[in-house]
Amino acid sequence: MTSYPNASGIILALDCIIFGFDGKDIKLLLIKRNFEPEMGKWSLMGGFLEPQENLEDGASRILHDLTGLKNIYAEQLGVYGNVGRDPVARTVSVVFFALINIDDQDKDAVRNHNASWIALDKLPSLIFDHNDMVGQAIEHLRYKAAMHPIGFELLAEQFTIPQLQKLYEAIYNTPIDRRNFSRKLLSTGLLIDTGLKNSHSATKKATLYKLDTVRYKKKFNSFWNFMPESRESLMSN
């Protein structure tokens, strides 16, 4: 730090917004803090960047610590650094946006951190500016899922088209036509029919698909047009 006399040291925090889907609702993994400051209040899972650690590695460490999982889908969402956002000290927080399959979590790890899955429409008030972060993350999820095949990260390795549709209906909080959704999805060529059927159904069993991971990676940065009204919002009025 002596090399840059003009610069002042700042505390760098990492906060993780972790989305999950239980087949019905989109949920966030939040912790009820049993440590100071702000003990007893809800917050995002976070930590401090270590001196010899890259940002993404720090996020992975925190995510692994809480869920027991490695290789979680995570991307930078933004940086929050307003003066006074943390009343204890000047901290700047790099926020990560993460998606996990809720069934993969290590329940003991989650319990040890005093963490819970909470549906988006039941979110409590969070510490600091964490509510702003969550708002931006929900916006980002809607934005990105409309154009990128990102939703799969929230599902199990094998999934049915109706399950995926329920996920999208939860993300956008709107009903989607079954037939058009199915047609669009299959036309992407990203789904592989496993030949298996969903055994848990009480009625006709749906086909289980898995991702064509090769095409998925190749096409991840392509656009698509997934939600019906995506374009009209600009054109109308």
Residues at the interface with DNA (CB under 7 A) = 160-162, 177-180, 182-184, 187, 197, 201-207, 225, 228-229, 231-232, 235
Structure tokens belonging to residue 67: 């869920």
List interacting residues with a copy of itself (CB under 8 A): 1, 3-4, 6-13, 37, 48-55, 76, 78-83, 88-92, 94, 143, 146-147, 187-189, 215, 219, 221-225, 230-231, 233-235, 237
State the binding partner of 10 from DNA, a copy of itself, none, CB within 5 to 8 A by kind. a copy of itself
168: Cβ–Cβ under 8 A, 6 or more apart, which residues? 145, 151, 176, 181, 226, 227
Task: Give the number of other Cβ atoms within 10 Å of residue 76's Cβ.
Answer: 12
In the complex, least distance from residue 91 CB atom to a copy of itself, rounded to whole angstroms: 7
Comparing CB distances to DNA, the nearer of 116 and 207 is 207
State the binding partner of 39 from DNA, a copy of itself, none, CB within 5 to 8 A by kind. none
38/222 Cα distance (integer angstroms): 42
In the complex, least distance from residue 203 CB atom to a copy of itself, rounded to whole angstroms: 32
State the binding partner of 228 from DNA, a copy of itself, none, CB within 5 to 8 A by kind. DNA
Comparing CB distances to a copy of itself, the nearer of 80 and 209 is 80
State the binding partner of 161 from a copy of itself, DNA, none, CB within 5 to 8 A by kind. DNA
- β-sheet bridge partners, residue 48: 13
* Distance, C-alpha 76 to centroid of its chain: 11
Comparing CB distances to a copy of itself, the nearer of 8 and 203 is 8
| CA distance between the termini of the chain | 55
Ramachandran class of 80: left when φ > 0, alpha when ψ lies in -120 to 50, beta otherwise: beta
112/225 Cα distance (integer angstroms): 41
